[in-house]
Structure 1
Amino acid sequence: MTHSYLFALTDGGGTVPPELGAARRLVERGHRVTVLGEDSMAPEVAAAGAAFMPWQAAPNRSDRSPDGTRYRDWEIRSPLAQARGMADHMLVGPAAGQALDVTAAVERQRPDLVVTSFVALGAMLAADAEGIPFDVLLPNIYTMPAPGMPPMGMGLRPASGPLGRLRDRLVNGASTRLVDKYVLPRLNAVRGEYGLAPVDHTWDQVRRARRLLLLTSEEFDFPAQLPSNARYVGPVLDDPAWAVDTAWSAPPGDAPLVLVALSSTFQDQAACLQRIIDALGSLPVRGLVTTGPALSPTDLRAPSNVTVVASAPHRDVMRQAALVVTHGGHGTLVKAFAAGLPAVVLHHGRDQADNAVRVTTRGAGVAVRRTAPSSAVARAVRQVVEDPAYARAAEALGVAARRDAEGGLLVTELERFTD
């Protein structure tokens, strides 16, 4: 039986390939899929085989250039400013426009299910108001407060003992109050416009989903008591459409190949990337650096043992590589583990510190400050390349990643309309 799906997605950079990977899998199963998204995503939506509708009332950027980025989180230093920026640009600022656009799309198409990005609160409440069930995609670890899960954004390990549990309660309580301060009144105002009762906390809107689909392996995340509607459905290992058919070649020789892949969106990463390149230049390795759309290869200086390109299909490169150096985005890490590769992580922000601590706790790599000098980066690369224990730990995570990616649970959950 075929169904109709409306995906309401925001362009989060690394979130796009797994979210559109879910859409592509439904298209391949014969379902009707429409993606309501930003113009910057249109070519990738077409590659997924889905119909595309641009946001009209909601924010909509034409490309992923720094000039077109509304939320410039790399410039923010204080938690208060970060919370306000997330509220204004990601969570509740776009909500009224998202609700208008999703309501119009639902009334035209009457989909069986709305599938939204994690931050698309307006899309969720519009589905609520229209009486259409909605699922939320989380293409990373579980990022909301939950018993046993360390507070997000700080790179913390799970709590140990009474003091650790007290830490979690205090930090989670403070972060929830901070988000609610900037989001909740405006969120409930939009809910009221659609005849919906107020929610007590911001994250209650997300938890109203039929399913919270975590596009990762449970073995990568930390254990916690998650809501009953949360499901670990495995990672989507698709490369972005703009990198799939890109030609590439590694520097000549047989030294270990190191893939360097920082964010596909701008996070002010050029200086960090240059220090990584300088570090590889001092080592008996070969380096392949992919800058992504956010930077130009010509912005960087490379020694003879390092090649810098705009893009390359990471899945192909990883078959030849020994190590991945990354900012700690979930998509890059899970692909590395699926290929049995350990990681050196220079986390920049967002969920990356939390990803990094999961890597180091599992022994699948090491973390280095993003501001670390090239000598420190070189030591980390040498350490991970020369100690096979890191590769063994990465392969253990890779077994789970490959199993879950191939298991089909994501599609099963999206197609499940009766329990």
Structure 2
Amino acid sequence: MTEPEPLNFLFATAHLGGNVSPVMPVVRRLVAAGHAVRVMSDGVNRPDAEAVGARFVPWRRAPNRTDRAPQGDPPDWSVSDRQGIGMVAGFLAGTAQAYAEDTIDELRREPADLLVAFDMLLGPILGAEAIGQRLALLGTMISFFPLPGIPPFGSGLGTARTEEERTVHETLRAETDAVFDSALPALNAARASFGLAPLDHLADQWNAAAVHWLGTAEAFDFAEAVLRPNMRYAGPLLGDPLWAETWHSPWEKDDARPLVVVGFSTSFQNHAGVLQRVIDAASSLPVRLLVTLGGPIEPDALVPAENTAVVRSAPHLQVLKDAALVVTHGGHGTVMATLVHRLPMLVIPHGRDQADNAARIVERGAGLAVARTAPTEEIRAALARLLTEPEFRRAAGTLGDAVAAEARASSLIADLEALATSADADRSDQVADRRALGA
């Protein structure tokens, strides 16, 4: 029996926060299976790609960050959540043509059986549509564009229980769609440059994909979500960033105080102040507090308490094995890692999807949420509840069991291979047809 031919995958992504690290284990597994895999992203992600055995291709026309300096992070933290969504939508639509042209150039240089694009990045999706490239989308969180049945991205609302709440959600979805569609002229101009018809909504660009995998757990999302026809849940995508430093505990091995891990955004969200309030809140509690900064905040910006260790980074998947509680901004990667370790969490959202993740945690009883403006006393009270009231850990265990089960059962690698193989077969049939016509 002959071995199947290796397949060629091109992953198209960008350095937009915590979206690259979760995808690298997927790339690693495809490389380990013998496939040819390229990662096209910002130059700063070259080490991530090469560490998992992929070939790296930088963006040329499209934005291309070469470092993680906070000055390059989007300033969406400085505006309202809705304005932040508009800011991101404007960037995604305004850069679509450049990303599309780079993607097309790379596919012409070396064809791929399957293009796997980060779902928020509209340009590679447009490029694939323009040249008829087989395309899959891979997200790293809940749906970015609004879905029927659930509150829209950025709202931070829970499940609608009454008719009045359902009406509020419908109104918010319509308003959020309008914010997204304010960027539609730029996307349609890019589409026109490739001879493609205009779209009615920005989200319609997602329809170009054969399959759209959401890199989250179905058990985590709201059950009322009505997915788009090409959408599937991939299960959680788990992976520590390459740049996470080796962890050595500064505490004695027999220190029995519970470990509280604090991990906020790896991009700048002006969060030094709330980190300090978390440190101050925990200073009078019988805990060990580990604060992982993730890059945008310097250690000297904080004043640690006696029970606090501040580090630039640490591998969360390792550290959480010894933790009792997590304090987080609510980034999807940290939330998933916390859940698979069956830990309760205190979520302090700063924007983006973070309030939405907090709503899902709070509704399941797996944690608490406070505003980023919460005073030290409120944070301390929340920490004390999470550490002493066992129902939070039980609920986190129940939800975590379901999330971990989806991670174990994920067929994402086999599904990517099957989709790429079908694309390869389609091309072989087309070649055979052309040869027959020419015979």
User: Which TM-score bucket, shorter chain as reference?
Assistant: over 0.9
Contact 2:151 2:172 survives alignment (8 Å): no
1:175 is paired with a residue whose SS is: helix
Give, in whole Å, the separation in 1 of the partners of 2:415 and 2:147.
22
Q: Which one of the candidate residues 333, 336, 346 is aligned to 1:334?
A: 336
Contact 1:34 1:51 survives alignment (8 Å): yes
Contact 1:250 1:288 survives alignment (8 Å): no
Counting only pairs closer than 5 Å after superposition, residues 260-271 of structure 1 correspond to structure 2 as 260-271=262-273
Contact 1:259 1:325 survives alignment (8 Å): yes
Contact 2:77 2:84 survives alignment (8 Å): no
Residue aligning to 1:143: 144
Contact 1:23 1:33 survives alignment (8 Å): yes
Contact 1:251 1:307 survives alignment (8 Å): no
Counting only pairs closer than 5 Å after superposition, residues 126-141 of structure 1 correspond to structure 2 as 126-141=127-142
Q: Which amino acid aligns with 2:322?
A: Q
Residue aligning to 1:346: 348
Give, in whole Å, the separation in 1 of the partners of 2:88 and 2:17.
15
- Can you list the C-alpha shifts for 1:144-199, whole angstroms capped at 9, x where unaligned? 22221112211111223332332222211121122112x21111111111121211
Once superposed, what is the RMSD of the aligned Cα atoms?
Answer: 1.6
Matched, 1:213 2:213: yes
Q: Which one of the candidate residues 73, 77, 80 is aligned to 1:77?
A: 80
2:228 is paired with a residue whose SS is: coil
Q: Which one of the candidate residues 1, 4, 9 is aligned to 1:5?
A: 9
Residue aligning to 2:236: 235
Give, in whole Å, the separation in 1 of the partners of 2:202 and 2:318.
41
Counting only pairs closer than 5 Å after superposition, residues 4-43 of structure 1 correspond to structure 2 as 4-43=8-47
Counting only pairs closer than 5 Å after superposition, residues 8-407 of structure 1 correspond to structure 2 as 8-69=12-73, 71-77=74-80, 79=82, 81-89=83-91, 91-181=92-182, 183-223=183-223, 224-243=225-244, 246-252=246-252, 253-407=255-409
Give, in whole Å, the separation in 2 of the partners of 1:83 and 1:321.
33
Cα deviation, residue 59, structure 1: 0.5
Percent same amino acid at aligned positions?
43
**Structure 1 spans left out of the alignment, 5+ residues:** none
- Can you list the C-alpha shifts for 1:217-254, whole angstroms capped at 9, x where unaligned? 111000211122111111122111111x5132143421
Q: Which amino acid aligns with 1:188?
A: N
Cα deviation, residue 25, structure 1: 1.9
2:351 is paired with a residue whose SS is: coil
1:92 is paired with a residue whose SS is: helix
Give the 3 Å change call, closer, same or farther, for CA 298–45 of structure 1 in structure 2.
Answer: same
Shifted more, 143-152 versus 264-273: the winner is 143-152
Q: TM-score, normalised by structure 1?
A: 0.95
Give, in whole Å, the separation in 2 of the partners of 1:195 and 1:160.
45
1:241 is paired with a residue whose SS is: coil
Cα deviation, residue 137, structure 1: 1.4
Larger radius of gyration: 2
Give, in whole Å, the separation in 1 of the partners of 2:89 and 2:290.
37
Give, in whole Å, the separation in 2 of the partners of 1:402 and 1:175.
32
1:279 is paired with a residue whose SS is: helix
Contact 1:250 1:286 survives alignment (8 Å): no
Contact 1:217 1:234 survives alignment (8 Å): yes
- Can you list the C-alpha shifts for 1:357-405, whole angstroms capped at 9, x where unaligned? 0000000000011111111111111100111111111111211222222
What stretches of structure 1 move > 4 A for 4+ residues in a row? none
Shifted more, 403-412 versus 290-299: the winner is 403-412
Q: Which amino acid aligns with 1:32?
A: A
- Can you list the C-alpha shifts for 1:10-37, whole angstroms capped at 9, x where unaligned? 1122111112222222112211111110
Q: Which amino acid aligns with 2:130?
A: A
Q: TM-score, normalised by structure 2?
A: 0.91
Cα deviation, residue 77, structure 1: 3.4
Give, in whole Å, the separation in 2 of the partners of 1:372 and 1:158.
24
